[in-house]
Structure 1
Amino acid sequence: MALSDGLASFALTSYGWLGLAAYPLSRPLLAYRAAKGKEDRARRAERFGNASLPRPAGPLVWIHAASVGETTAVLALMRELRRRDIHVLLTTGTVTSAEVAKNRLGDMVLHQYVPLDLLPPVRRFLDYWQPDVAIGVESEIWPTTLAELHRRHIPQILVNARMSDRSFDRWKRHPAIAETLFGKLALVIAQSDLDAERFRDLGAWPVSVSGNIKVDSDAPPCDEQVLEGYRQQIGTRKTWAAISTFEGEEKIASMVHRALKAHTGLLTVLVPRHPDRCDEIEAMLVEKGLVVARRTRGDVITAETDVFLGDTIGEMGLYLRLTEIAFVGRSLSAEGGQNPLEPAMLGCAVLSGPQVSNFRESYQRLVRKGSARIIRDAEMLAKAVHFLMSNDVARSKMIDAGLESMQEMRGALTATLKGLEPYVSPLSVKAKLEPRSASQG
């Protein structure tokens, strides 16, 4: 049964009070996460809203990108804001996304870890940074933060917004709560018509459609010297990559490798979504009799190497440039899928399992164009990899179709900036009228 407006308000108020009651437990919880490598031990204070950098004078836009995918999606947007002399504060929720931001943006933006969605940290954070606009990326909805931004009349905008099947079903079960929360958003710029329809159904307004702004991002970079070194080590061997894999998919990749090794002498490039799992993944591969070279150890890829294990952050551009065939994970043994645009952008024929609901439109476009294929299981994956390795014409057609698809899908950044114009233009004018801060020069 749908909650009434009064019960929705009570539920959200209770969420806030429960957060306050749990606040004393947050420090030991973060300490535990830091011990596991999931929090930056030296910067834990930022999670409680304590700033570790000076706030520059002038207009400031706060952008929150939860993880690596969201961070890379808005790189071009952040560069555009800086081009207009608007300061950018980027918050992320993971250590890996912080490293990507540092590697790709340097000092161009200010980086902090996002405060916990509890009233004391959120208020401390907003009191200090005083953002003019807050921009969330893709699907970030934090009730306490959203309510506090609304109370302070700071517009909160969601860009590159998407709504998965699971999230939509969950919100639809509590329509009053959804409408109370989503109704506080000043603007939603969605990736697709379906995403836009879902946000409108949940109470967001206005909602526009931009496409996926990740298409307008630069291709993931890599160190050309390192790339050339690995290419020389690999020589003429055939390669394929399994990227952004989740638990179970590494075992599938090993099955594919063993099935094809005798026929092709191939090298498998394996890049798990979470590098902290690589010790257990290597142990599994070795147990199956495979020889593993790891990027972090600087291992040389020899003729005996079966698997090159990509256990670093922010080097997807390197790994994808070592092959022309990429299986994209979280699609066979896990659900939701991962973004296929980077491999298509870098000239790879794309393979994926069927569970890609989080990136449905991207896959539909690529499949229609002939640049991606959906496979059902390990056996079908092995056959697809073998076919593409053996058939240069078919592989080249898929690669060309992917590059053409990327070109056709461009324009999302322009559409996003057009939607943001009423919020960004006044800040740009204000920035030009005020003396520039040395902090972000």
Structure 2
Amino acid sequence: MAMARRGERTLALPPRPPGPVVWLHAAPQTDMDAVAALAQRMAQEDVGASFMVTGDPIRVPEPLIEVNTPHDSTSAARAFLDHVRPDVVLWMQGGLLGQLLAEVDSRGIARLLADADARDLALNRSGWLARARRGGLVRDFRQALAVDEDAAARLRRLGLEDGRISVTGPLTEGAVAFPGGESQRARIAQEVGTRPIWFAPATPMVELPLLAEAHQAASRRSHRLLLAIMPRDPAEGEEMAETLHDLGLRTVRRSVEEEVPEGTEVVVADRESELGAWYRLAPMTFMGGTLTEGGGRSPYEAAALGSAVLHGPGTMPWGLAYRRLAEARAAERVSDSATLGVAVTELLAPDRAALLAHAAWSSLSSGADVTNRLMELLIDALDAAGAY
């Protein structure tokens, strides 16, 4: 890799992954969960690409690959592009880096702009705005997705042709398919019968006493209630079953026992391949870990598959997703085992659970058009570059 100029540091870069590569430059406010969902969607449709991410994102979830941002100089740009060899560049919002993008253009690499925001485009970072007016920083984007009409007008003033601008709103995470389809759901449904179910994926061991208390409280109102718990680590399935048994709950392990006897109170769902099936089967899902250590899985998974979302106060690293669902009145927050037990009891009423699930689905669907449009642009650009 080329040496950096004096005063610049040489970046340590991860190996370039095989196959098509999208270089994505993110802003702090970029919804990285939405970007990750986009990458997953493309992979599921057999048009996958590796996303190598620079910029200032708050977090970089899998399957995205975080990369240090090169200095905005010709030598650093050349060294970076020689290593990464992107097939297409996706720039989020504004704050354009002129030398980097000039080198991108010199190599004939297509670049796209998404989440273009008028406020961000008005910022004069490192003099890029003045250079944008003089040259082709904005003019040479193949397509731009603007968050609103103000952003679109700003792009026109900076030289981008109107035909290359679409007003789409911001990129926000939409629905992604997960392991465990309808056939698995139907098979598990036959095994558990007509019993009411609630599901807790990615549950840490430390949370088991709280879920046990909540389940026992809710079972006083619904004696046949069944709790399905998926361990955060599948290897903990045996230990989890033993702990739940010690807590006084009749428990079976999915990986050991296919059938669910009538007296069963908890199923340890330790088959990751059935994740989607349990989301589809359970009318309500408590997001494991949110009462204790946080982490766990995105609430959009449950919402996308029609399960009402319950969660505790520990919402990171999915805070943006939970805020979006809260604004849509599409999730219910609990604070402890007692309030969780009450919430589960209330959501046993089919109309209550359906109301939350519908609101969540509507919230997710609002971002689907932007995701679809951006995926379409990326696939076209990758195809034109001969990446497929």
TM-score by length of 1: 0.56
| Deviation of 1:428 (Å) | 1.9
Amino acid at match of 2:251: V
Percent of pairs with identical residues: 23
Q: Indicate the residue corresponding to 1:313 in structure 2.
A: 272
The residue number in structure 2 matching 1:355 is 314
Q: Distance in 2 between matches of 1:328 and 1:351?
A: 6
Residue 318 of structure 2 aligns to a residue whose secondary structure is helix
Instruction: Please list, as runs of the form range in 1=range in 2, the aligned pairs for 1:144-159 lying within 5 A after superposition.
Output: 151-153=79-81, 154=84, 155=86
Corresponding residue number in structure 1 for 2:40: 75
Between Structure 1 and Structure 2, whose CA radius of gyration is higher? Answer: 2
1:394 to 348, 352, 372: 352
Structure 1 segment 182-261 matched on structure 2, within 5 A: 211=170, 214-217=173-176, 219-220=177-178, 222-261=180-219
TM superposition shift of 1:73: 5.0
Q: 1:304 aligns with which of 252, 263, 277?
A: 263
**Residues 46-195 of structure 1: matches in 2 within 5 Å?**
60-61=20-21, 73-78=38-43, 82=47, 88=48, 134=52, 139=60, 142=66, 151-153=79-81, 154=84, 155=86
Once the two structures are TM-superposed, the CA of residue 247 in structure 1 deviates from its matched residue by 3.7
The reply on whether 1:378 has 2:333 as its aligned counterpart is no
Aligned residues of 2:203 and 2:296 also touching (Cα < 8 A): no
Rounded to whole Å, the distance in 1 between the matches of 2:280 and 2:23 is: 30
Task: Give 2:284's match in structure 1, choosing from 325, 331, 349.
Answer: 325
Q: Which amino acid is the alignment partner of residue 40 of structure 2? A: L
Count how many residue pairs are aligned between Structure 1 and Structure 2. Answer: 310
Letter in 1 for 2:384: V
**What SS does the aligned partner of 2:282 have?**
coil
Alignment of 1:2-17 (within 5 A): none
Residues 426 and 326 of structure 1: CA distance in aligned 2, closer, same or farther (over 3 Å): closer
Distance 1:254 1:263, change over 3 A: same
In the other structure, the counterpart of 1:428 is 383
Deviation track 1:56-100 (CA, whole Å, cap 9, x = no partner) reads: 8xxx33699xxx998765232335673xxxxx455xxxxxxxxxx
Matched AA of 1:267: L
Contact 2:290–2:315, Cα closer than 8 Å, also in 1 = yes
Stretches of 4+ moved more than 6 A in 1? Answer: 48-51, 68-71, 144-150, 158-161, 183-193, 200-203, 205-210
Q: 1:144 to 1:409 in 2, by over 3 A?
A: closer
Contact in 2 for aligned 1:296/1:312 (Cα 8 Å) = yes
Rounded Cα–Cα distance in structure 1 between residues aligned with 2:34 and 2:202: 11
- Structure number having the greater helix percentage: 1
Q: Partners in 2 of 1:266 and 1:227 — Cα distance?
A: 18
* Contact 1:336/1:357 (8 A) holds in 2: yes
Q: Secondary structure at the match of 1:250?
A: helix
Q: Distance in 2 between matches of 1:241 and 1:252?
A: 14
Shift of residue 287, structure 1, vs aligned partner: 1.4
AA at the equivalent of 1:409: G
Which residue identity does 1:61 align to in structure 2? V
AA at the equivalent of 1:233: E
- 1:239 maps to amino acid: I
Tell me, what secondary structure is at the counterpart of 2:272? coil
Q: Where does the alignment leave 5 or more consecutive residues of structure 2 unmatched? A: 25-32, 105-110, 129-137, 139-144, 148-168
Q: Give structure 1 stretches of 5+ with no counterpart.
A: 1-5, 20-47, 83-87, 91-132, 162-178
